[in-house]
Structure formats: structure tokens, C-alpha cells
Amino acid sequence: MVLPTTRGDREQQKFIQRDDGQTAVAVDIESADQGGSGGGGGNDTYYAKPSGSNADATVSYTSATTITVTGLSWTFNKYDITKITQVPTSGNVTKFTDTADFAVSSGVITVTGATFAATDEFIVTLTGSPRTENTPTSSTQTTRLNPESQDFISESLVDDTNLTAATHNYYIVMDGYQDLSISGKFIDADETITMKVYGMNDEDTTSGDWIQVYGYNDDLNTTTNNWTVTNGTLTYAISFNNCNYTNIKVEIVCGGATNTVIVKARRKAL
């Protein structure tokens, strides 16, 4: 896996880059008043996400092996791509990091060996030229682009009836986000529905160890690590504050096939 380069102490003083790709630019008030020129060096991280309102660009499904990035302010090639994360509605998260498997043409990325589905969501991580910055010589003023308060994603993990009597897994990638909330409803007429939430930082979501985590029931003012209903209805509202994991798995176990399962998720940076 290719990881973004960490800036040195001197670079950190003049430019602050957050993990989720949002930027804080340090502006030198004194040199700006005196007509000083800007500094340079290093690259910035850019993100294309399903919702472009909280990212640098938008990415969407195109075909079984292609996705399309739109809204980026500069033209990228395959060597600018650090990672492509494929998030299916069920099953395992897949991450592509080998540049040799990528081809780019007018924002369309082809990934050799990929098996994309129209219902999948994607996050594309890229490196590019630094955003505008000035080298500080004395006092600095920090301005944040894309405020954290506007950086969130709301998504429906499942909203369906008569799920099969089996275990159903839904995945959330928390990279760039701090807090998670889940709410919804279970209705079961003749059996039991159980939900558990797991977290882990291993990039291998198939063989890695998923660890069950606790959540806070906002409606009951209690903490627990499983939510169950038998022959009835359960509504729930759960917070996972400071959810500092790369991957989250929501596991739904249906004992029967006559049911209603609703799980809505919201992740945010601030």
C-alpha cells in the first residue's frame, strides 16, 4: 500500500494537511502586507467521494471495471492515484493501490481485475500540487477550506423487508471521519433479529480480526454491544463518538425470513 508522505516540522508550520484531505492554509500576515511571495514544496492529498459537497471531487460507478471522477480542478493521471476504495452494500471492502492496474482517460479510471457493481460506493485518494500557500515569517493566520462542520456522509445501509434467515454484513469506511451514528428499526413477526457492530484497522477485511465494540443508546441512556428483538418491534438510535477505526462492520443476524430491517448511518468529521 502507498502511504502519503509526512511533512517535516518546518513544512507543518506553514501548511496543515488533515487526514481526510481538507486543508488549513497558514497565511503570513506580515509578508503578505509587505508583498512577500509564496513558498512551495510537497504535494497535497485530494479525495473524490460519493458526495462531492464534502470532498474535492465526486466519484461514481461507470462499469464493472471503471469509475468516473468529476469536479476536480486539475487533470490527473494514474500516477496521481494513491488508493481506490470500493465499498459494496454487502460483503468486504476492497482497496486497490497498484498503479500498474490503473488507466485514466478524461477522468475515467479503469482498474484491471476489478468487479465493480452499480450499487457500490467509492473513495479515490489522489496526490496533487499543493493548494495556495504562503511561507510564514512571523505571525500566521489559519483559514480552513471546506469546514469540518460541513463534512459528513449520510447513507442507508439497508432498508428492506423479508431478508433471508442468515447473517448480513454492511461496511463503513471511517477514514477522514471521527464520529458515527446509526438509527433505524427492526420488526420481526416470528423469530429474532440481532445487530452487532465491529471495528478494526486491518486493511484485510476478509482475514483480519473484527472486534465487537460498544455503542451508546441515545434513546435509553445506556451503553451496549448488541441490539435484539424477538417477535416484536425495536427502534434504536446509537452513537459511536470518537470512532477511531478505519473499518466498521454492521452485522445483522435474521433468525427468520419475515421481517423489516432498517439501518441508517451518518459519519462526520466534527
163 with 250, same domain: the answer is: yes
Q: Where is the domain boundary, 148, 168, 193?
A: 148
DSSP E strands: which ranges in 149-214? Answer: 152-161, 167-173, 179-188, 192-200, 211-212
Residues 81, 121, 47, 63: is their CA dihedral positive or negative?
Answer: positive
Q: Which three-class secondary structure state does DSSP give residue 54? A: helix
Average predicted confidence (pLDDT) for the chain: 81
pLDDT digits (tens, 9 = 90+) for 73-100: 889 999 999 999 999 988 889 999 999 9
148, 180, 200: which is the final residue of a domain? 148
What is the rounded distance in angstroms from the CA atom of residue 52 to the CA atom of residue 70? 9
| Closest to 135 (Cα-Cα) out of 22, 4, 25, 43 | 25
CA distance 11 to 42: 9
For residue 46, give the amino acid letter.
Y
User: SS3 sequence, 253-265?
Assistant: EECCCCEEEEEEE
Closest C-alpha to 135, from 17, 43, 11, 44: 11
Q: Match 479503469 to its residue by C-alpha cell.
A: 110
Q: Three cell numbers at 234?
A: 425495536
Q: Rounded CA gap, 236 and 78, in Å?
A: 43
> Is residue 132 domain-shared with residue 161, that is, in the same domain?
no
pLDDT band at 51 (very low <50, low <70, confident <90, very high): confident
Q: In terms of domains, do 123 and 188 share one?
A: no
Residue 18 has pLDDT above 80, yes or no: no
Do 180 and 242 sit in the same domain of this protein? yes
Question: Is the model's pLDDT at 9 over the cut of 50?
Answer: no
Q: Is residue 1 part of a domain?
A: no
Alpha-carbon distance of 267 to 20, in angstroms, equals 13
Same domain for 164 and 105: no
> For residue 14, which phi and psi values (nearest 5 degrees)?
-105, -10
| pTM score of the predicted model | 0.51
- Note whether residue 122 is domain-resident: yes
Same structural domain, 262 and 167: yes
Q: Are residues 132 and 159 in the same domain?
A: no
HSE, side-chain direction, 13 A CA sphere, residue 124: 34
Question: Are both 125 and 194 inside the same structural domain?
Answer: no
Determine, yes or no, domain membership for 119.
yes
Residue 173, pLDDT > 50, answer yes
Does the pLDDT of residue 142 top 70, yes or no? no
pLDDT digits (tens, 9 = 90+) for 20-47: 444 444 333 333 333 333 344 578 899 9
Number of structural domains in the chain: 2
In a domain, 50, yes or no: yes
Same-domain check for residues 176 and 117: no
Instruction: Indicate whether 76 and 137 sit together in one domain.
Output: yes
CATH number for the domain that contains residue 263: 2.60.120.20
Together in a domain, 55 and 142: yes
Q: What does the alpha-carbon distance between residue 211 and residue 199 come to, in Å, rounded to a whole number?
A: 5
Query: Which domain does 15 fall in, by range?
Result: 11-148
- Cell numbers found for residue 110: 479503469
Domain-embedded: residue 191: yes
* CA distances to 81, 180, 269 from 153, in Å: 22, 10, 9
- Asked which of 98, 122, 148 is the last residue of a domain, the reply is 148
- Give how far the C-alpha of residue 266 lies from the chain's centroid of Cα atoms, to the nearest Å: 11
> Percentage of the chain surpassing pLDDT 90?
61
5 within a domain of the structure (yes/no): no
Quickly tell me which residue has 471503471 as its cell.
66
Check whether residue 203 and residue 235 sit in a common domain.
Answer: yes
Of 267, 245, 256, 261, nearest to 90 by C-alpha is: 261
Determine the residue type at 3. L
